[in-house]
Amino acid sequence: MIIVLQPDATEEQQEALLADLKARGYGVHCSRGVERTIVGVIGTPERDKDGLIEHFESLPYVERVIPILKPYKLVGKAFRPEGTVLNVRGVQIGGGTLCVMAGPCTVESADMLLETARFVKKMGAHILRGGAFKPSTSPYSFHGLGEEGLKILQEASLETGLPIITEVMDTRDVELVGRYTDIFQIGTRNMTNFSLLREVGNTRKPVMLKRGWASTIEEWLQAAEYIASQGNYEIILCERGIRTFETYTRNTFDLNAIPAIKELSHLPIFADPSHATGKRSLVPAITLGAVAAGVDGLIIEVHPNPEKAVKDGPQSLSFEQFGQLMQVVRPVAEAVGKRL
């Protein structure tokens, strides 16, 4: 259940409430907003809820108590109704901004990454993406440069000032990747890797959680709940397309998911039109549709020479294409009340 405190509840009253709940053996998660403090109470048996609701609502500093029936408690809208806004080295994610993450699928070399980082920043991107560890369907594909790739990302970040997002694939790599990245990316194949979700939840570093390629929205939110249950609420959801019977595109982009997440959760949501389509010719249209639907950000693959990319060349935009896309995105973002 969720306990909403009165705006004038004192620090002492808040601490007394938390101590009471912990003494009863419940998990407690506190969200202190600008106007309200909201306490999420986890582990309350159904048989006890009515009595607890009556007890806590009788306290003078409690505004109301809301029973939560959904399986996700901490990432649900009621826990932080004003929405979550992240600040990553001065870059705002959520709220009224449209954040753009751009860069190559894979870190191939220092020269290539630095050239791309300089260009995407010039075009208005806020965060540099690039994979040092890459999952692949085939065990014989290129799987990334590992720590060397992380060091290249860090060097590009130091020169351009762009924060970094990169994928972590294994619990054993969380500490290593965390030394370099500003945002952990959890890919579609690892959405249900619950050990990994708990591990990044313990880091208190922002996490982008991509939707599993065959996952429902509820399953996706429950995966996010694993991260939040460890005390890390700095979570970004990313719709990257789901697998359907369609074969023309790499995946099927679920536009419904964007407004649905806005109804169900306080977390910011991004769109990945590159993985959604697998075709660079379709990326602009899906990007504009996602922006019109209300996404908080985009993550787009950009490469100086897509035809020679080590991975995912067909879905990567050239410099010229990315520059053109940024020009047409701006008026659409402004039309739906977003600042680019």
Q: CB neighbours (10 Å) of residue 158?
A: 9
Residues 250 and 278: their CA atoms lie apart, in Å, by 5
Whether the CB-CB separation of 124 and 322 falls below 8 Å is answered with no
Which tokens sit at 8? 């004038």
Return the closest-CA partner of residue 319 out of 307, 302, 300, 340.
302
User: For residue 136, what pLDDT is reported?
Assistant: 67
pLDDT tier at 253, thresholds 50, 70, 90: very high
User: For residue 141, what pLDDT is reported?
Assistant: 66
Q: CB neighbours (10 Å) of residue 124?
A: 16
Residues in the chain: 340
| Strand, coil or helix: 5 | strand
Q: Which residues on adjacent β-strands are paired with residue 301? A: 103
User: For residue 65, what pLDDT is reported?
Assistant: 93
Please list, in sequence order, all residues whose beta carbon lies within 8 angstroms of the beta carbon of residue 336, skipping any fewer than 6 positions away.
Answer: 291, 292, 294
Whether 48 has a pLDDT exceeding 90, the answer reads no
Return the closest-CA partner of residue 234 out of 182, 271, 168, 294.
182
Residues 178 and 238: their CA atoms lie apart, in Å, by 20
Which run of H or of E encompasses 327? helix 319-335
Whether 295 has a pLDDT exceeding 80, the answer reads yes
* pLDDT tens track for 88-127: 999 999 999 999 999 999 999 999 999 999 999 999 999 9
Residues 52 and 73: their CA atoms lie apart, in Å, by 17
* pTM exceeds 0.75, yes or no: yes
pLDDT tier at 142, thresholds 50, 70, 90: low
Q: What angle do CA 323, 327, 330 make, to 5 degrees?
A: 135
User: How much of the chain exceeds pLDDT 70, in percent?
Assistant: 98
Q: What is the mean pLDDT of the chain?
A: 94
User: For residue 311, what pLDDT is reported?
Assistant: 87
* pLDDT tens track for 146-169: 999 999 999 999 999 999 999 999
Q: Span 249-278, mean pLDDT?
A: 97
Whether the CB-CB separation of 40 and 31 falls below 8 Å is answered with yes
Q: Span 234-247, mean pLDDT?
A: 97
* pLDDT tens track for 177-225: 999 999 999 999 999 999 999 999 999 899 999 999 999 999 999 999 9
User: How much of the chain exceeds pLDDT 90, in percent?
Assistant: 85
Whether 314 has a pLDDT exceeding 90, the answer reads yes
User: For residue 140, what pLDDT is reported?
Assistant: 61
pLDDT tier at 303, thresholds 50, 70, 90: very high
Q: Span 241-266, mean pLDDT?
A: 97
